[in-house]
C-alpha cells in the first residue's frame, strides 16, 4: 500500500473476498468454515487434495475485493451488487475476527480495507478455487432487477435469422437461380460487440 509492504504470508491461502449487498452473518460463517477446511494441499505422502490450511498450519492472507461483485453492462463494469463501503468494512472486519476465532489469530493476515493495493500472489499449481455461499445459488425467481436486465441483454444479443419461417420451410426449386442450398454459408450482418 503506497509503496510499503503491510502484510505477507508464506505457504497458505490468499483469499480475495467480494462482499455482496445480500451477504449476511450466515454467509460469513459458511465462508469461514469452507476456507479453513478446504482440502487443497497434499498430505505427507504427497497425495493431492488431502489437507486443509488448518491441517498444515499454514497462513491465510485476506484481501477485500469489491470488483468480484462486478456485473458487466456491455463492456462497462457495474458494481451495484457490492455492499456499500461502510457496511462492507464492518462485514470484512467481522469476517477476519471469525477466521481468527476459528483458527490461530497470528496466522490470519490482511490487506488494508479500501486502499489501492499491489497484491503479489505466487499461485502454486496454479490452483484457484471460487467459493460461493449457499445463498449465492439463487433461485431465478429471486434474481434482482439488475441481474434480470443483464440476462435479458445477453439473450437479445443472439438474434434469430431474418428470413421468415414460411420462406425457410418452402421447398426450393432446383432451376431457380435465386434459390440457395445454403452450401455457400450464411453471412450475418450483425457483429458481436
pLDDT at position 89: 98
The region of weakest confidence among 10-19, 121-130, 150-159 is 150-159
d(CA 52, CA 61): 15
Point out the catalytic residue in the list 24, 67, 85, 137.
Answer: 67
Q: Active site includes 67?
A: yes
pLDDT at position 134: 78
Is the pLDDT at 187 greater than 70? The verdict is no
Q: Residue 190 — very low, low, confident or very high, per pLDDT cuts 50/70/90? A: very low
**pLDDT, averaged across the chain:** 81
The residue that leads in pLDDT, 155 or 162, is: 155
Q: Which three cell numbers, joined as nine digits, stand for 89?
A: 468494512
The region of weakest confidence among 16-30, 48-62, 128-142, 170-184 is 170-184
pLDDT at position 133: 79
Is the pLDDT at 184 greater than 50? The verdict is no
Is the pLDDT at 129 greater than 90? The verdict is yes
- Domains by residue range for the chain, with CATH: 10-125 (3.50.80.10)
Amino acid at each position: 500500500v503506497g509503496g510499503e509492504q503491510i502484510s505477507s504470508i508464506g505457504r497458505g491461502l490468499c483469499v480475495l473476498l467480494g462482499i455482496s449487498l445480500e451477504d449476511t452473518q450466515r454467509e460469513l460463517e459458511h465462508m469461514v468454515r469452507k476456507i479453513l477446511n478446504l482440502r487443497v494441499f497434499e498430505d505427507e505422502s504427497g497425495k493431492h487434495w488431502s489437507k486443509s490450511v488448518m491441517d498444515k498450519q499454514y497462513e491465510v492472507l485476506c484481501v477485500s475485493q469489491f470488483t468480484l461483485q462486478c456485473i458487466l453492462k456491455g463492456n462497462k463494469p457495474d458494481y451495484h451488487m457490492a455492499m456499500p463501503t461502510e457496511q462492507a468494512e464492518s462485514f470484512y472486519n467481522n469476517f477476519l475476527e471469525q477466521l481468527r476465532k476459528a483458527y490461530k489469530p497470528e496466522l490470519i493476515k490482511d490487506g488494508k480495507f479500501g486502499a489501492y493495493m499491489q497484491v503479489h500472489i505466487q499461485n502454486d499449481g496454479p490452483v484457484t478455487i471460487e467459493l460461493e455461499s449457499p445463498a449465492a445459488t439463487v433461485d431465478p425467481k429471486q434474481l434482482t432487477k439488475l441481474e434480470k436486465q443483464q440476462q435479458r441483454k445477453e439473450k437479445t444479443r443472439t438474434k434469430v435469422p431474418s428470413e421468415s419461417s414460411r420462406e425457410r420451410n418452402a421447398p426450393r426449386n432446383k432451376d431457380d437461380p435465386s434459390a440457395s442450398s445454403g452450401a455457400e454459408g450464411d453471412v450475418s450482418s450483425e457483429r458481436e460487440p
